[in-house]
Chains A and B, each alone.
Chain A
Amino acid sequence: MTGQARKLILADVTKCYDAAGAAVRRVLDGVSLAVEPGETLAIVGPSGSGKSTLLNIIGSLDRPTSGSVRLGEVDVAALEGAALAYFRAREVGFVFQDHHLLPQLTALENVLLPSLALGGGQAAVGAAVGLLERVGLGGQAASFPSRMSGGERQRVAVARALVNGPNLLLCDEPTGNLDREAGEAVVSLFVELAAERGVAAIMVTHNLGLAARFSRCMELRGGRLAVFDARRGESA
């Protein structure tokens, strides 16, 4: 179900917030970025640096104040309504810090949830089962999130992000609520799956160890992106 691989290009993206009685806060200040299909990118930075905001803008959950976000020929920031919903369903897979699994659905059903946005179908079930097996939870397809560990839940979330075969896999601090081992396992899975499927994967994290597993790492500081050497823990 993977669509045609497309390149992600951010050009001069800024994001400002109005604060009542205070000066405008510029979170992103002319961020430009290009990510090739199959490339994995980690974005690091201190808390409040705007990592999640950048990720949300890339994933069309938020809009830039200025600048453009394009995935292939699609101007993401210009999408509205049904087109926006279709874009999210078709092109983006999101893994949140909090797994956000629906507690009333089984693991398999949670994985299948995005497929409903595209009409569902038996093919989606097959893909979901395959993904669950791939993330090592083939035996827990019928389990509810309440019966799963944090790492397992997050792995289900990764599978859910991939079920519609997106071109862009976004991950926001996926290990924040996990212990180190579980966190590493999830990130490894994330990177492997992105590579397997030729998907551009971007993760924001403040864990340099995890960031080092990505093919490229950038630091967001002062609203701008800069190349970062995660292994050395310093800007390149």
Chain B
Amino acid sequence: MRLSRLIARSLAFHWRTGPAVAFGVAAATAAIAGSLLVGSSVKASVRTQLLARLGAVDHALPAPWFFREGLGGEVASCPGVRRVDAVLLARGAVRNAASGGTVPDTGIVGVDAGLWGFFPGSPAESLEGRTAAVSKALARDLGVAEGDAILVNVPRKGSAPLSTIFARRERAEFLGSMRLRVGRTLDGGAGSFALGGGGREPRNVFVAREWLAREIRAEGRANALLVESDGSPGTGAALQAALRAACVPADFGLTVSVSRKQHCVVLRSERLLLGQGQLAAARQAAADVGADAAVESVYLANSIERIGGGSIAYAIVAAGEAPLPLTAREGTAQPGDGEIVLNDWAAADLGARVGERLRITFYVPSREATDQTATEEFSLAGIVSTDSPGVDPDVVPEFEGMTETERISDWKPPFPVDLKRVTQRDEDYWTQHKAAPKAFVPVAVMTSIWASGQPAAPDWATAVRVVPRAGEDTEAVKARFEAALAARLDPAAEGMTFRPVRERAMAASEGTQDFGMLYASMSAFIVLAAMGLTAMMARLAAERRAAEAGVMLACGFSGRSVAAAIMGELGVLVAAGAAGGLPAGWLYARAMLAWLAGGWPGAEAQPLRVHADALRLAAGAAAGAACGMISVWWGARALGRQRVLDLLAGWRALGAVAARPGGRFEKLLAIVLLAAALALVGLGVAGAVPATAAFFGSGAILLVPGFIASRLALGRVLASRGGRLGLAVLSLRSAAANRGRSLLTIWLFAWASFIIIAAAANHRDYSAASLGRDSGAGGFALRATSSVPVPFDFGTPGGRAKLGFAKEDEAAFEGVRVVSMPMTGGDDISCASLSKPAAPRVLGVPEAMIERGGFDVDSPVRGGNAWALLDGGGPDEVPAFGDADSVRWALHSGLGGTIEVPRDGAPAARLRIAGLLRRSIFAGELLISEANFRRLFPREAQPRCFLIETPPGAEESTAFLLRNLGDMGLEVASTRELLDAVAGVQNLYISTFVALGGLGVLLGTFGLVAVLLRSAFERRSEFALMLAVGLGRGWIARLLVLEHAGLLAAGLACGTTAALLAVAPQIVSASTRVDWPLLAGLLASVLVVGVIASAAAAWAAARGNLIAALREE
């Protein structure tokens, strides 16, 4: 015979104990392995989702401007590249033409047949004309089917920045509105196409690229390249190098032309203004071809007025860094400080003479649409010939609605013009000289004119004049300059960078947090309860084997051998339980994912599926087995402490040893902790310590004296002598005789009820909360975001008028205040996003908002306006605020931490967390000052996020009106909803925790039931004796019920009392909603199950022939 045979025999003989031990281990394994599977499944689901959105695309170039559609073909020969396709990407709003239902933030994708190649299984046919393919999610949102009509609003390709007066900003001009027919709905695959970001399933409309390009006035252009490569390393760098080699000035929106009048080459931008990088490249390129570069700028003056009489309307004013090629007729040709020079045509019109004072008036850009003007006064320093080379219409960029017209009377500029002021002489000038400047001012004046009305100094140069050396052919120089400029322009610096979108998706799928560990921690109760169950059953098993162990020791087995035999037997049960727990773990993961997916905030369920991960399952099984072994060791360790003779006396002798009644230290500790808890409550009430922390701390502390008291009480019961023996005393004695088991029961249920109540009390609900200035809403009732910049401020009557609001709506906007903020297109950092943010979204907080303050900010500032911390910052690092939970859980940082925000073509911006907003509406982004924003993210400086303060009760009417801007991509949400959405994730976790905790407690209860049944049967001889001495079966049943229900009740009472103290501040808070009936029901059900189980055990134990049991003794 071998030890293994002994183990096998014991297993077979004690088969009743085995399943219970194995069940406990299986439950622990299921909870651990299931939790780990949740983690890997969330990751895998997010990865699957993100990769599905990319199809075979692994690199993408989303450009800030429109480049030649042929650019894709020119980089396609790059090594490692399999496929390149140029597309048009835009954000817009889509409306159901029949119902009017609108989806504001939709991807409008101009494609040719090439796109479908990235998505195997997608229909390969091309789209034509007004036929569109829409994603299934969008079709569902809009309620459209194939054949239905939809209206798509998408921003047109404008020729000037929205921050200037020259941009078309009125709704009808700014947006291209198209009526399309749904030709096809795309389910998954290409339908969910998106280059980045997690969150809800993308809503897309696919139209023929050529057709879309025509509609948005971007013929022959694209603004994104999609690449499929063979995955070889270095493809991104190779693509970028190929892009740099292939790009020509046109790909950056630059035009190079020849000025006939000046015999020079002129560089201008389709986007009106030349950026600093472009100017630098142009200067270098000019030097490369041996030419001189001169930077110039023009602006439109509404009028040039001679002070004292006479004015001319609508004249171009110019300035140059270098002296302009002007021929003086009178006075000087180059204006000095405070001086202006006119051409002789303008001077004649004004009747002006050198030395006279002139005033120019010009429009200042304004989001309020107030048609604000400004003036500058000059002294006329000279009059130059209109035939001068510098009076050149070719250096004037395209002013949309003006420069392309034959006559001034045909002008349709984006700002108001009074054509009645235009004279025939003005028309004659236009006919002969087009937009050639009439006046010249110093360059400093011109830069200040462009900067008027802007929060930060913008670009101002409108042209670079490249002057060839004498005798050189201008056309030849143009060609050489173009080539040199192309070589000098860095696409990356211009925001054209190939992004490794697949790699980023893989990184994003790592998630904001380790759901495996999150769920493992939330499942801790189940694991603990299962371990408790296992330990209890192991203890019973060990006790059962006490005499066996005694015999073995007496036969010469060493203690280690005896332990090995018992642990070997229990180990087999543990292994069986761990193995059996794996399928249960899979089911557990499935249930958790279904709960997570179904309860996730927002209407859309997250597509989460269980992904079997052998490593995690093995880890779960190992952890479950480890928990099981710890439990059985804990349960069986009592044997090791016993003497051989005690063991031989049998298991009943174990435990029935009078325990020490309780040391002074324990009593002293209990008193000190009780005093500490009371002191902490006092400090909380006095405000010296945050009330939430004070009360929670005192509640948690209170548990320990509770435990000590129960331990001392049980010890005292067993140590006490005398007293009237009755049912209560006997039940107490029984509980005390098994003090370890009894205390474990009390502690388990006390902790469980404490944690469950404490967690449930943090369930947040803002529906009835007061959202004042110091709340997470900052006193704002609404928050709106737009997928495209809103060109006017809808917080002003002028802006609203330009945006199409009726005059009669104005009354509804009385008292409404809007704070507009620029916002990057980065990733949502809130806990509601399952994917890891690669580039956190950033908001620019305007100065007015900084001065206003508000919100609940945790910062080093005490007593002042914490928002002032956002001012300042250097080139290396800028101060930022972030939502406390998002910074902690999604960015894994904290106060003082630094977050890097990647930027295209520039080093990552470093944001230092200077303040944390508690439970705020800014859960999805980081906040920096607008000044820093414009410096760090100049291409995204237009406001896209709006905080709206309304008079009390006007929230809904304001939101209703603002939803009219839905076709401009504006989404309006109440801050209450936003806070609820943010709290929704937390609430989901809390409800999961409470549910799992409840499950754990129930498991613990069932464990107790198992122990109870077992011990009831073990005590049959005791009961028989009771019967023999005349006590009835009912008495025995009452004894058991009283003993076990008492332990349960003691545990629940201890935990509940401590928890109620711990969460007192939350209970009285208006933003907390505790589901008391559910909680009370949960705890009551535990008690009821315990009582019923006790009764059942008592019934089972007391029935049958107990006298026979007595005889067996």
CB within 8 Å of A: which of B1-52? 1-3, 5-6, 9-10, 12-14
The answer to the question of B553 belonging to the interface, with a C-beta cut-off of 8 Å to chain A, is yes
User: B9 contacts A62, CB within 8 Å?
Assistant: no
**B1000: chain A residues within 8 A (beta carbon):** none
Instruction: Tell me the interface secondary structure of chain B in the complex.
Output: helix
User: B558 contacts A116, CB within 8 Å?
Assistant: no
Task: Choose one: B554, B556, B643; the contact of A86 (CB below 8 Å).
Answer: B556
**Given A62-B645, A100-B648; A113-B10 close (CB under 8 Å):** no
The minimal Cβ–Cβ distance linking B753 to chain A, given in whole angstroms, is 38
Among listed B327-335, B508-516, B544-552, B668-676, interface-contacting one: B544-552
**Given A56-B645, A105-B6, A120-B2; A100-B547 close (CB under 8 Å):** yes
In Å, the complex CA distance between A114 and B554 comes to: 9
The answer to the question of A78 belonging to the interface, with a C-beta cut-off of 8 Å to chain B, is no
Name the interface size band of chain B. 20 to 34
User: B12 contacts A104, CB within 8 Å?
Assistant: yes
**Given A87-B556, A96-B648; A116-B551 close (CB under 8 Å):** no
**B2: chain A residues within 8 A (beta carbon):** 116, 120
Task: Choose one: B6, B558, B648; the contact of A82 (CB below 8 Å).
Answer: B558
The answer to the question of A109 belonging to the interface, with a C-beta cut-off of 8 Å to chain B, is yes
User: A88 contacts B555, CB within 8 Å?
Assistant: yes
User: A89 contacts B555, CB within 8 Å?
Assistant: yes
**Given A109-B1, A116-B1; A85-B558 close (CB under 8 Å):** yes
The answer to the question of B557 belonging to the interface, with a C-beta cut-off of 8 Å to chain A, is yes
**Given A61-B554, A87-B556; A116-B3 close (CB under 8 Å):** yes
User: B548 contacts A102, CB within 8 Å?
Assistant: yes
In Å, the complex CA distance between A113 and B5 comes to: 11
The answer to the question of B644 belonging to the interface, with a C-beta cut-off of 8 Å to chain A, is yes
User: B9 contacts A113, CB within 8 Å?
Assistant: no
**B13: chain A residues within 8 A (beta carbon):** 103-104
User: B6 contacts A164, CB within 8 Å?
Assistant: no
User: B550 contacts A100, CB within 8 Å?
Assistant: yes
User: A114 contacts B6, CB within 8 Å?
Assistant: no
User: B9 contacts A85, CB within 8 Å?
Assistant: no
**Given A104-B12, A104-B13, A105-B9; A118-B648 close (CB under 8 Å):** no
Task: Choose one: B5, B9, B559, B644; the contact of A61 (CB below 8 Å).
Answer: B644
For B3, B553, B643, B648, the residue with the greatest tally of chain A CB atoms inside 10 Å of its CB is B648
User: A160 contacts B555, CB within 8 Å?
Assistant: yes
In Å, the complex CA distance between A117 and B9 comes to: 17
The answer to the question of A112 belonging to the interface, with a C-beta cut-off of 8 Å to chain B, is yes
The minimal Cβ–Cβ distance linking A95 to chain B, given in whole angstroms, is 10
In Å, the complex CA distance between A56 and B547 comes to: 16
The minimal Cβ–Cβ distance linking A32 to chain B, given in whole angstroms, is 23
**A102: chain B residues within 8 A (beta carbon):** 6, 9-10, 548, 551
Q: Which residue of A lies closest to B558 (CB)?
A: A85
As a 0/1 sequence over residues 616 to 646 of chain B, the CB contacts with chain A under 8 angstroms (1 = contact) are 0000000000000000000000000001110
User: B551 contacts A85, CB within 8 Å?
Assistant: no
**A139: chain B residues within 8 A (beta carbon):** none
In Å, the complex CA distance between A113 and B547 comes to: 14
User: B551 contacts A113, CB within 8 Å?
Assistant: yes
CB within 8 Å of B: which of A22-63? 56, 59, 61-62
In Å, the complex CA distance between A115 and B3 comes to: 11
The minimal Cβ–Cβ distance linking A228 to chain B, given in whole angstroms, is 25
In Å, the complex CA distance between A125 and B648 comes to: 26
The answer to the question of B796 belonging to the interface, with a C-beta cut-off of 8 Å to chain A, is no
Q: Which residue of B lies closest to A82 (CB)?
A: B558
- Number of A positions contacting B (CB below 8 A): 33
In Å, the complex CA distance between A92 and B9 comes to: 26
In Å, the complex CA distance between A98 and B547 comes to: 10
User: B1 contacts A85, CB within 8 Å?
Assistant: no
In Å, the complex CA distance between A90 and B561 comes to: 16
Task: Choose one: A87, A90, A117; the contact of B557 (CB below 8 Å).
Answer: A117
The answer to the question of A94 belonging to the interface, with a C-beta cut-off of 8 Å to chain B, is yes
User: A109 contacts B9, CB within 8 Å?
Assistant: yes
In Å, the complex CA distance between A143 and B334 comes to: 124
User: A59 contacts B554, CB within 8 Å?
Assistant: yes
User: B551 contacts A117, CB within 8 Å?
Assistant: no
User: B553 contacts A88, CB within 8 Å?
Assistant: yes
As a 0/1 sequence over residues 117 to 151 of chain A, the CB contacts with chain B under 8 angstroms (1 = contact) are 11010000100000000000000000000000000
The minimal Cβ–Cβ distance linking A202 to chain B, given in whole angstroms, is 15
In Å, the complex CA distance between A94 and B555 comes to: 7
Q: Which residue of A lies closest to B10 (CB)?
A: A104
User: A88 contacts B556, CB within 8 Å?
Assistant: yes
In Å, the complex CA distance between A59 and B648 comes to: 14
The minimal Cβ–Cβ distance linking A58 to chain B, given in whole angstroms, is 12
User: A61 contacts B1, CB within 8 Å?
Assistant: no
User: A81 contacts B558, CB within 8 Å?
Assistant: yes
In Å, the complex CA distance between A88 and B645 comes to: 14
**B556: chain A residues within 8 A (beta carbon):** 85-90, 92, 114, 117-118, 164
**B557: chain A residues within 8 A (beta carbon):** 85, 89, 116-117
User: B558 contacts A114, CB within 8 Å?
Assistant: no
CB within 8 Å of B: which of A64-101? 81-82, 85-90, 92, 94, 96, 98, 100
**A87: chain B residues within 8 A (beta carbon):** 556
The minimal Cβ–Cβ distance linking A179 to chain B, given in whole angstroms, is 15
In Å, the complex CA distance between A125 and B2 comes to: 11
User: A113 contacts B645, CB within 8 Å?
Assistant: no
Q: Which residue of B lies closest to A172 (CB)?
A: B648
User: A100 contacts B561, CB within 8 Å?
Assistant: no
**A59: chain B residues within 8 A (beta carbon):** 554
User: A112 contacts B645, CB within 8 Å?
Assistant: no
**A113: chain B residues within 8 A (beta carbon):** 1, 6, 551-552, 555
**A100: chain B residues within 8 A (beta carbon):** 547-548, 550-551, 648
The minimal Cβ–Cβ distance linking B501 to chain A, given in whole angstroms, is 65
CB within 8 Å of A: which of B841-876? none
**B5: chain A residues within 8 A (beta carbon):** 109
User: A117 contacts B555, CB within 8 Å?
Assistant: yes
A-B contact pairs, 9 of them (CB 8 A): A85-B558, A90-B556, A100-B550, A100-B648, A104-B14, A113-B552, A116-B561, A118-B556, A164-B556
Known: A61-B645, A92-B554; 19 extra A-B contacts, CB below 8 A, are A59-B554, A61-B554, A62-B643, A62-B645, A85-B556, A85-B558, A85-B559, A85-B561, A96-B648, A102-B9, A102-B548, A102-B551, A104-B12, A104-B14, A109-B1, A113-B1, A116-B3, A117-B555, A118-B556
The 3 tightest CB contacts between A and B, nearest first, are A89-B556, A104-B13, A114-B555
- Chain B positions within 8 Å of A, measured between CB atoms, are 1-3, 5-6, 9-10, 12-14, 547-548, 550-559, 561, 643-645, 648
